[in-house]
Structure 1
Amino acid sequence: MKLELRSRFYSLVTTLLTPLVLIRLATRGIKTKAYLQRWHERFGWFKAPQFNDHTIWVHAVSVGEVNAAIPLIKALMEKYQDHSFVLTTITPTGSDRVQQIFGDQVFHVYLPYDLPGAVKRFLRKTKPRLAVIMETEIWPNLFRFCKKKNIPIVVANARLSEVSMKGYRWVESLAAKAFNDTAYVAAQTVTDAKRMIQLGCYPEKIFVVGSLKFDIIIEDHIIRKGEEIREHYQNSRLVWIAASTHQDDEIEVLDAYAVLKQRHPKLMLVIVPRHPERFQSTTQACRNKGFNTQLRSEIGLCDIDGDVFVVDTMGEMLEFYASSDIAFVGGSIANIGGHNVLEAAVFSLPVLVGPNTHNFTEITQLLNDCGGSQTVYDANDIIRSMEYLIEDEAARLAMGKAAKVLVEKNRGAVNLTMNLIESAIDQKPLNEHITNKHFPKISP
């Protein structure tokens, strides 16, 4: 009874906070117009195709989660060719990425707010046979109504940082209930799994399968595009990419580049800001430093006189990784929690990354331990690391090779997650042989 009252109280609070959420959306829409569009979808009002009972729904918050989900979604499409697919995101950039990769192979709609009416409308219109929720998007009402409608939920690539765990404390019992409404939770690491158990998830629901990010798929066209971009540069140019950057990252990167450019005139910096609303401010910051700054949207590719090239377009980061020599991965000097270092590692790039990587603690540590990355705290650290990598080609190549080997050695999470999904969708117990062979036991 207490849990039922808490659920009602949660729904009331969520309803009361909705105007504030809409104000925040409108504020973001000042810089990114897409946030001002399709609001009705966020309340479960949308026109959907006529779905049958053979529909699989996958939710991925934004670009990073969509990228991580790509190999799993492709495996699902291969396995369940007679099914329709619904993909939901929360951000417009996530929506754009879904359209770019899957086009009309899927039906995309924004995930509704966790309001009872909106959730019921969404489930009624999409009729999912299975829900796959990427990472740890725990929405009590959504999970509760899926359970009532007998829609099995698999939380894939699940992670729970210390920061996120503290954030769930105020709704701990509801978060635990949501976890326990799932069929399975496919955790990235033992640490993630233990945190979920501390939050109240039943140990028997959790299996440690590794990170789907290691199963990253690099299509041939990305390799070809990277080669074309690289051919455009002079052979003597060394290309340093700063990817998924935020303001605090860029301050240190640009300060470092000002020094490095003086010492190494052939060094070119490619910056890929994390959010499109920052394209203009990033460009202005580069020009304020006196750099000849060119934009992807204006000239296509950087010319011979360019110092800094800002990729002010969406969905092209992998192509620019493929054409670079050294990578800095953002959100890590900025206190964001880091972004996916494996997107650089898979291209055999040596990786520089800041200290704030709590969203990717284990992956970043593995990359550091194998010699594929170095931690940098500020501009001075960046200068020291870059000098070493610029001047010692053998060390640069060895570091990049170590990064690529790490990715290859840790692939396999897609297959393990598919085992869980097949069990959930067919409502059959996991094969005991598979369980004992593949999934580590987790205890509180």
Structure 2
Amino acid sequence: MPKDPIERLLRAVYSAALYLLLPVTAYHLVWRGFRQHAYFQRWDERYALYGERPPLPGCVWVHAVSVGEVNAAAPLVNALRQQRPDLRLLVTTITPTGSERVRTLWGEAVEHVYLPYDLPGATDRFLAQFRPQAALIMETELWPSLLFACRDRGIPVFVLNARLSARSLRGYRLLAPLVARALRGVRRIAAQSPDDARRFVRLGARPEQVTEVGNLKFDQRVPEGVERFAAEFRARCGHRPTWIAASTHEGEEAAVVAIHRRLRERWPELLLLWAPRHPERFRAAIEHAQHAGWRVATRRLTHWADARDAVFVVDTLGELVQFYAAADVAFVGGSLADIGGHNLLEPAAVGTAVVTGPHLHNFADIARRMEEAGALWIGADAEAVAGAVAALLEDPARRAAMAAAGQTLVEQGRGALARTLALVLPALPPPPAEA
């Protein structure tokens, strides 16, 4: 038990509150399950009940909450597998889409379970089952019970690709005394930007714990075959103007329909590639487009678009980058609704001009850098986004300039992976001695 009486009290109050809310976690899983069936599965992992599952002692544990964080962690996991093939890796997520992405990227080459809820009993069972020798936590997953449990067991914890928006910092106000104490047990916080680093210090981390290393998303590599896929897609759909609305949320769907309707008045042959952020919105996107009177194809049903389709819904996971490459202009969602934006570097990396809405607090540093480089057009609202997409469809030279600026920025931004490995590798168990 901690010697600090204030910490003991804070931890006791936090744990009691979570145990009282335990029925809500089951309700949440049921509610999400009606929207995405995978939430009905693997409840035992949510509470760290592993039954006869054999333990995995001595692993290195990487936690990435969902698809975006798994993609950001991919360069790090791949580098660890290459440089330290002796390590057993455990990758945890919270969402089913994150889980699916882990299996798509690494199959059975890594161990995978859901991270349990932040209950002391569950965290104890989780750590007893896997006994990690190091914990590599991606971005902003600051769970106090888990951080304290790792500290108490002497497990070095790194918060990597760490980001903390001004909004998230304000959101931690109620738990700030507890989170600050939990953060001080972390070995190192590798922040994405100077602003992120300063906010982690304001949250309670000691300055010497925090290092700015850059954003691992710059180190994500474009998958092989993307250009070949884009060329084939364009040929099949009739070599016509195409834009993509990617990572959209429920509150943005009507805007996407309105923008596409407006654009098709100018370009009647225009094709919309529509990739909702969450699988439970695939059907809604299809229905929105059909109700607008358009012919709709989907990746699962028809695999390709043809020259008669007005909308092609990307109702699969893990293929977004290649569809970015097939578009002339990319709108990245989560930015018209007050979500905070999504990864702007993926379309930039494949040479597609990027448009976004104004709500970008989760990607503020990347958005600023891209806008300054001339690689991003930020619309103040849906009408402005429509105008930006129209202007870029009408001006191939401007599109090409934005695309070139984006690719240059991505290339110049690489390096966070090497700096992150330099922090992490010395803390990992040494490789076995050669016979």
TM superposition score category, shorter chain reference: over 0.9
Q: Whole-Å Cα distance in 2 between the matches of residues 387 and 336 of structure 1?
A: 24
Q: Whole-Å Cα distance in 2 between the matches of residues 336 and 364 of structure 1?
A: 15
* One-letter amino acid of the structure 2 residue matched with residue 359 of structure 1: N
Q: Whole-Å Cα distance in 2 between the matches of residues 95 and 208 of structure 1?
A: 29
SS state at 2:355 partner: strand
1:150 Cα offset (Å): 1.2
Q: Normalising to structure 1: TM-score of the pair?
A: 0.93
CA distance 1:285–1:160, shift in 2 (3 Å): same
How does 1:43-442 map onto structure 2 within 5 Å?
43-46=47-50, 47-53=52-58, 55-235=59-239, 237-425=240-428
Q: Whole-Å Cα distance in 1 between the matches of residues 54 and 416 of structure 2?
A: 32
1:231 Cα offset (Å): 3.2
- Greater mean alpha carbon deviation, residues 217-226 or residues 301-310: 217-226
Please say if residues 61 and 90 of structure 2, whose CA atoms lie closer than 8 Å, have aligned partners that are also in contact.
yes
Q: Normalising to structure 2: TM-score of the pair?
A: 0.95
* One-letter amino acid of the structure 1 residue matched with residue 74 of structure 2: I
- Greater mean alpha carbon deviation, residues 223-232 or residues 403-412: 223-232
1:426 Cα offset (Å): 5.7
Q: Whole-Å Cα distance in 2 between the matches of residues 275 and 52 of structure 1?
A: 34
SS state at 1:271 partner: strand
Q: Cα deviations across residues 231-274 of structure 1 (Å, max 9, x unaligned)? A: 32222x12101100012322222212112112112321000000
* One-letter amino acid of the structure 1 residue matched with residue 196 of structure 2: D
Q: Whole-Å Cα distance in 2 between the matches of residues 99 and 230 of structure 1?
A: 29
1:432 aligned partner: none
Q: Whole-Å Cα distance in 1 between the matches of residues 223 and 196 of structure 2?
A: 30
1:48 Cα offset (Å): 4.1
Please, what is the CA RMSD of the aligned residues?
1.4
* One-letter amino acid of the structure 2 residue matched with residue 7 of structure 1: R
* One-letter amino acid of the structure 2 residue matched with residue 191 of structure 1: D
Q: Whole-Å Cα distance in 2 between the matches of residues 121 and 209 of structure 1?
A: 33
Structure 2 stretches lacking a partner, 5+ long: 431-435
Q: Whole-Å Cα distance in 2 between the matches of residues 214 and 363 of structure 1?
A: 10
* One-letter amino acid of the structure 1 residue matched with residue 15 of structure 2: S
Q: Work out the percentage of aligned pairs sharing the same amino acid.
A: 44
SS state at 2:159 partner: strand
1:222 Cα offset (Å): 4.0
Please say if residues 291 and 307 of structure 1, whose CA atoms lie closer than 8 Å, have aligned partners that are also in contact.
yes
Please say if residues 253 and 382 of structure 1, whose CA atoms lie closer than 8 Å, have aligned partners that are also in contact.
no
CA distance 1:49–1:413, shift in 2 (3 Å): farther
Q: Whole-Å Cα distance in 2 between the matches of residues 115 and 361 of structure 1?
A: 32
SS state at 2:175 partner: helix
Q: Whole-Å Cα distance in 2 between the matches of residues 247 and 123 of structure 1?
A: 37
CA distance 1:411–1:48, shift in 2 (3 Å): farther
SS state at 2:428 partner: helix
SS state at 1:114 partner: coil
2:433 aligned partner: none
Please say if residues 252 and 378 of structure 1, whose CA atoms lie closer than 8 Å, have aligned partners that are also in contact.
no
Q: Whole-Å Cα distance in 1 between the matches of residues 389 and 176 of structure 2?
A: 44
- Greater mean alpha carbon deviation, residues 41-50 or residues 267-276: 41-50
2:13 aligned partner: 9
Q: Whole-Å Cα distance in 2 between the matches of residues 230 and 324 of structure 1?
A: 9
Q: Whole-Å Cα distance in 1 between the matches of residues 228 and 153 of structure 2?
A: 46
Matched, 1:20 2:44: no
How does 1:25-36 map onto structure 2 within 5 Å?
25-36=29-40
Please say if residues 70 and 217 of structure 1, whose CA atoms lie closer than 8 Å, have aligned partners that are also in contact.
no
- Greater mean alpha carbon deviation, residues 380-389 or residues 363-372: 380-389
